[in-house]
Structure 1
Amino acid sequence: MKLLRYGPVGQEKPGLLDASNTLRDLSGVVADIHGDTLSDAALAKLRAIDPATLPAVGGQPRIGPCVGRVGKFICIGLNYADHAAESGAAIPTEPVVFGKWTSAICGPNDNVEIPRGSTKTDWEVELGVVIGKPAKYITEAEALDHVAGYCVINDVSEREWQIERGGTWDKGKGFDTFGPIGPWLVTRDEVPDPQNLTMWLDVDGKRFQNGNTKTMIFTVAQIIAYLSRCMSLQPGDVISTGTPPGVGLGIKPVPVYLKAGQTMRLGIEGLGEQQQTTVAA
């Protein structure tokens, strides 16, 4: 299934994209797409519904983040060896974990704000993992059973605040609009191998990132098991699993960063596409 949320900011309704790419309204069935509706049992009930019996949504409504009421937005850094190299960092021996504030979350096609005074705002296409079942001290073999589904994430980053302003990375990762999620959550039964998905990102029509999840240092299963040993994971938590090479920071000889008025397009095989316009905050 492809589950999504649509409507004005803060008033999103749950929806389903059927096989003919028609948006169907799920608000008569569930209140929202969030932790309570992401268990295997809850998803099985949604899967049993004939989409043709659901109201079709007309027009072109705004698409919101594909998950509501996110409890934790957890990110993994430097998880592709070639991205670590372009960033001038050593290949990690354990996952590099940081957080984005949930206030950074926005829709997949919403504007991305360039922070005031920023000259180093960057892009990062990433595979997102949405937790569907609580996880604490689980094994790698069990890990994927705790996944509700997958989505596209743009881990927008302000490199000066991330690297040069002291402290942790979180400051440069959590500005408002720095976490576009969606367009939809694709349930795990439709993603048989999360370690073989092509991914890409363009800025103003120029391809900068072109990678595949098979080159991850730590797999999705390894990441989930690892995180479950240092925190409990709850349904609706979102994990962003790292980016392939091609970020602006890594461009030689001079890094390239975003400015207001540009367009980012990005996508992952089978998970849909995003498009954002950059604007001044």
Structure 2
Amino acid sequence: MKKTKLLSAVALSVALLTATSGAVSAAVVDATGKAKESTANSAGFVTDNTTVVDPQLPGGGGVDTLPSGPNNPDTVDPKVKASDLALYAYPTEFNFGVTKISAADKQKNTVVLTQKKWATINNNSDGTDTTDPVKLHQRDFQSLRVQDGRLNTTDWTVSAEATPFTNGKKSLIGASINIAKATEYTSDPKGKVAAKSKFKIEADGATVTTDILKADPEARFMSDLKWDTDKVTLEFPGSVIDTGNYSSTITWTLSGTPDV
């Protein structure tokens, strides 16, 4: 029994020594007359992938509360995030209506069709514009709108390309969509955006129209390019005109470097 107790006492003594060896000692003033201690500091940051920013009207017109749909010439994403680089609004449709044609139109060097004001795009089957107030819409502008909440300082640019206008059997070879009198805007007072006030999108499925709207590395937040709906025209050689309903698709591409 004595031996057991002795061993226990030794073990306890070792444990006490071990605990004591980790004790913190106070700083003692040394020969320089100073005593120093240090405190650790820390802070962490993560990308904000949750905060939703309100879509804005072009030109700094305030919050856009009109949802995407038949009353809105633009398709607008209401859920873009604060840290996103996103093309959150773009034209829903370029509608050039129904046009009556004859052999005389085939003799024209160029046929030019102007997009109707959005309030009259529901054209009647006989080619006349609708006057039905139920079908009249609210807006007569279209736009490209970009949100940039990135931390990295790199630029971005928007380009476009279009497939050929076809009715399934024939195509409007040589057709192009032309936009005029477009105006650019950015909400960032320290950044700049450049834009083409007039540009052409070739409907050939191959040609890319570049730098339609482009930001410098400093531009952040909301930027846009806006034009009136009746400043959009469809142009093509008269020799290719024929009856039928023709359609094409424009692909808008926003290019930039996302945050890692």
- For normalisation by structure 2, the TM-score amounts to 0.28
Larger radius of gyration: 2
State the TM-score, normalized to the length of structure 1. 0.27
Q: Which protein has greater RCO, CA pairs closer than 8 Å, 6+ apart?
A: 1
